[in-house]
């Protein structure tokens, strides 16, 4: 009991990484890459209208209730009562319960393709028993780590976020810069219109639904008491996370649009294809196995209960809907 007062505290960088992994999904980049330069407008518009206000509110509420644990439960409960607070945190929990096995399935399939034999990899990826075993192992491993306390959770979340999100995103962006600097042909027209044509219905749909890409920045609120000097450090972590998120989305989307022709962008495969094309360009095809790390970028975040949401289902569904009305996909 004497060690309770000396409980492990989350640093600004660790919490910022946890916030990034709660929001960023590299798998959503191909959905925006088809819109070329105007994709930056959508990202920046949503950041200004939704991400920044959400971050401000989360930072203000965290500072206001820095001596009380609970995150969304506390924020909603203080305003509308404990019943509504419980409903808010329950909804946040149940979406994680739905999403976690789903993202682990993607991760299991990604791991299957580490091998060099595509035929064998495909067979393994389609094996339901293999997928079930991987999902259960990771699920129970995550449960075990969460029971070990905040120290373990913080370390796993930081490492998982860096290896599975930050490094792949940085690598994708750097490869895009190297590709252009080496004289590679850009498939994205940087002289096209920055502002989309809002007379088209599908552009309006995308503009409204892009907000879902930024949902999740409030997840870190449950850790307000686990941060040293939360009134100062929590807002710092939120805004650092928001800045990293915007940069990854905008520059990562550009990197994919540069290496893959618009007509060939596939919503499910283009992220891996983009990495493969860049690796081939720098004569390092053997690095393709690293891309499997992308599938497990969220394991650490899921351990933390926070988690992502059904928003990814909605984003992916909306993206397919919007893409289906593009001329080249008709």
What's residue 298's pLDDT? 46
More confident residue, 308 or 79: 79
d(CA 268, CA 272): 9
d(CA 181, CA 252): 16
Nearest in space to 254 (alpha carbons), one of 172, 318, 178: 172
Number of structural domains the chain divides into:
1
What's residue 321's pLDDT? 38
Q: What is the domain range of residue 119?
A: 4-329
The sign of the CA dihedral 247, 310, 27, 144 is positive
Q: Quote the pTM value.
A: 0.72
d(CA 162, CA 244): 12
> Which residues, listed in sequence order, are joined to residue 73 by a DSSP beta bridge?
none
pLDDT per position as a tens digit, 20-41: 887 887 877 887 888 888 888 8
- Give residue 330's pLDDT band: very low, low, confident or very high (50, 70, 90): very low
d(CA 203, CA 35): 9
d(CA 19, CA 227): 13
The SS3 assignment for 132 reads: helix
What's residue 4's pLDDT? 42
What's residue 301's pLDDT? 46
d(CA 77, CA 7): 26
The mean-pLDDT minimum among 79-88, 179-188, 206-215 falls in 206-215
d(CA 224, CA 231): 9
d(CA 42, CA 32): 9
Tokens 């789903």 sit at which residue? 102
Ramachandran angles phi, psi of 100, nearest 5°: -55, -55
What's residue 297's pLDDT? 47
The whole-number average pLDDT for the span 67-86 is: 83
Q: Read off the tokens for 87.
A: 């409903």
Q: What is the DSSP string of 219-246?
A: GGGGGGGGBSSHHHHHHHHHHHHHHHHH
């Amino acid at each position: 009991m004497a060690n309770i007062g000396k409980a492990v505290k989350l640093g600004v960088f660790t919490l910022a990484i946890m916030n990034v992994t709660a929001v960023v999904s590299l798998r959503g980049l191909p959905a925006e890459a088809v819109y070329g330069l105007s994709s930056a407008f959508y990202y920046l518009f949503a950041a200004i209208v939704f991400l920044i206000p959400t971050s401000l509110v989360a930072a203000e509420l965290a500072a206001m209730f820095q001596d009380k644990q609970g995150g969304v439960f506390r924020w909603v409960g203080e305003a509308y009562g404990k019943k509504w607070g419980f409903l808010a945190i329950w909804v946040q929990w149940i979406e994680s319960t739905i999403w976690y096995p789903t993202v682990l399935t993607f991760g299991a399939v990604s791991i299957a393709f580490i091998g060099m034999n595509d035929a064998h990899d495909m067979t393994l990826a389609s094996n339901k028993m293999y997928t079930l075993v991987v999902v259960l192992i990771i699920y129970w491993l995550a449960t075990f780590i969460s029971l070990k306390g905040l120290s373990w959770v913080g370390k796993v979340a930081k490492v998982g976020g860096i290896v599975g999100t930050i490094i792949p995103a940085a690598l994708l962006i750097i490869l895009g810069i190297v590709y252009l600097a080496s004289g590679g042909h850009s498939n994205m027209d940087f002289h096209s219109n920055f502002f989309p044509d809002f007379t088209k219905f599908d552009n309006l749909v995308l503009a409204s639904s892009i907000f879902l890409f930024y949902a999740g920045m409030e997840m870190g609120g449950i850790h307000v008491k686990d941060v040293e000097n939360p009134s100062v450090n929590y807002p710092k972590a939120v805004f650092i996370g928001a800045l990293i998120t915007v940069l990854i989305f905008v520059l990562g989307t550009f990197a994919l649009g540069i290496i893959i022709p618009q007509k060939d962008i596939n919503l499910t495969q283009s992220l891996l294809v983009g990495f493969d094309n860049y690796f081939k360009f720098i004569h390092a095809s053997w690095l393709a196995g690293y891309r499997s790390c992308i599938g497990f970028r969220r394991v650490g975040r899921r351990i933390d209960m926070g988690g992502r949401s059904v928003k990814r289902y909605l984003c992916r569904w909306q993206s397919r809907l919007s893409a289906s009305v593009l001329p080249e996909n008709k």
